[in-house]
Amino acid sequence: MTDATRKKIDELTAALASTDCFQGLRPDILVAVARHIHYHHYQADKIVILENEPCVGLGIVKTGRLKAVRLAASGREQTLSVFGPGELFNAAGVFADAPNPVTIIALEPSGLWVIPRDSIVKLQDRYPALTQNIARNLAKRVLKLVDLIEDLSLRTVEMRLAHQLLTNAKDNIVPRESWATQAEMSARLGTVTYVLNRVLRGLEEEGLIEVEREEIRILDPVGLAAKAEPR
């Protein structure tokens, strides 16, 4: 092994150790995983994985943001998840031994690590602790999808928006990333842009929020929380 290769493996091992999925694994397991990683880079709006195509492997976000979506025949988009640095994606396709269940798109310039499917399956056979960590990570994803189903089934758009704003706020401010257009917000909420615009205006008129280009300010957290709960 060359010095350059050894340095690369060491850097990957340290990075993996800091992610939620691989945290706590023995150094030798992390090194084994790092040896199989391939790096890819995608510009914003580029398709990373296409629904129903063969699964190529397990992905890990190094930098940037991705979204997982399902597309209707009409072209309407439902965002299922947003992935940030350190998060896994496409695990369902890998372990179900099935085509990609969703389309994954880069929201911003993104650096990704990909472990080929055959490699990750062999690593799991060799290291049961790796299987346990990935299973735990998948379970957390399932719980998030259960929450999403509850939101779409039981809450109105106003309730869903209020809940999302409160969840994402820090010190009553929700930053708006460059990619967080109203079309993107609508796709995450399971609605269309004109409905979202109407709900945002309504919350502003009630003095609950203030919408600016780069952020949404929550002016009345108690009042907004009341909007988020089923009545």
Residue 38's CATH number: 2.60.120.10
- Domain total of the chain: 2
Q: Which of 124, 153, 182 is the last residue of a domain?
A: 153
CA atoms within 13 A on the CB side of 169: 19
Q: Does 183 share its domain with 111?
A: no
CA distance 133 to 24: 9
- Average the pLDDT over 82-104 and give the result: 89
Element (H, E) at 103: strand 103-106
Per-residue pLDDT tens over the stretch 152-201? 887 899 999 999 899 889 999 999 888 888 888 898 888 889 999 999 99
CA distance 60 to 112: 6
Q: Does 33 share its domain with 49?
A: yes
Q: Does 55 share its domain with 112?
A: yes
User: What value does the CA radius of gyration of the chain take, rounded to a whole number of Å?
Assistant: 20
- Average the pLDDT over 103-123 and give the result: 94
CA distance 42 to 231: 44
Distance of CA 223 to the CA centre of its chain: 29
Confidence of residue 127 (pLDDT cuts 50, 70, 90): very high
- The contacts of residue 154 (CB under 8 Å, 6+ apart) are 230
Choice between 150 and 107, residue whose per-residue pLDDT is larger: 107
Q: Does 170 share its domain with 58?
A: no
Q: Does 21 share its domain with 41?
A: yes
Residue-number span of the structural domain to which 188 is assigned: 155-228
Q: Does 23 share its domain with 135?
A: yes
Q: Does 146 share its domain with 186?
A: no
pTM of the predicted model as reported, rounded to 2 decimal places: 0.79
What share of the chain has pLDDT > 90, as a percent? Answer: 56
Predicted local distance difference test score (pLDDT) of residue 229: 81
Q: Does 144 share its domain with 30?
A: yes
Q: Which of 129, 153, 177 is the last residue of a domain?
A: 153
Q: In what order do the strands lie in the sheet with 209-211?
A: 173-175, 215-218, 209-211
pLDDT at 2 over 80: no
Query: Which token pair is 135?
Result: 């299973």
Residue 213: which of 176, 184, 186 has the closest Cα? 176
Most confident of 8-12, 31-35, 148-152: 31-35
Per-residue pLDDT tens over the stretch 129-138? 999 998 888 8
Q: Does 165 share its domain with 149?
A: no
Q: Does 163 share its domain with 103?
A: no
CATH of the domain at 176: 1.10.10.10
- Average the pLDDT over 71-85 and give the result: 84
Q: Which of 134, 153, 172 is the last residue of a domain?
A: 153
Q: Does 60 share its domain with 127?
A: yes
pLDDT at 78 over 90: no
What share of the chain has pLDDT > 70, as a percent? Answer: 98
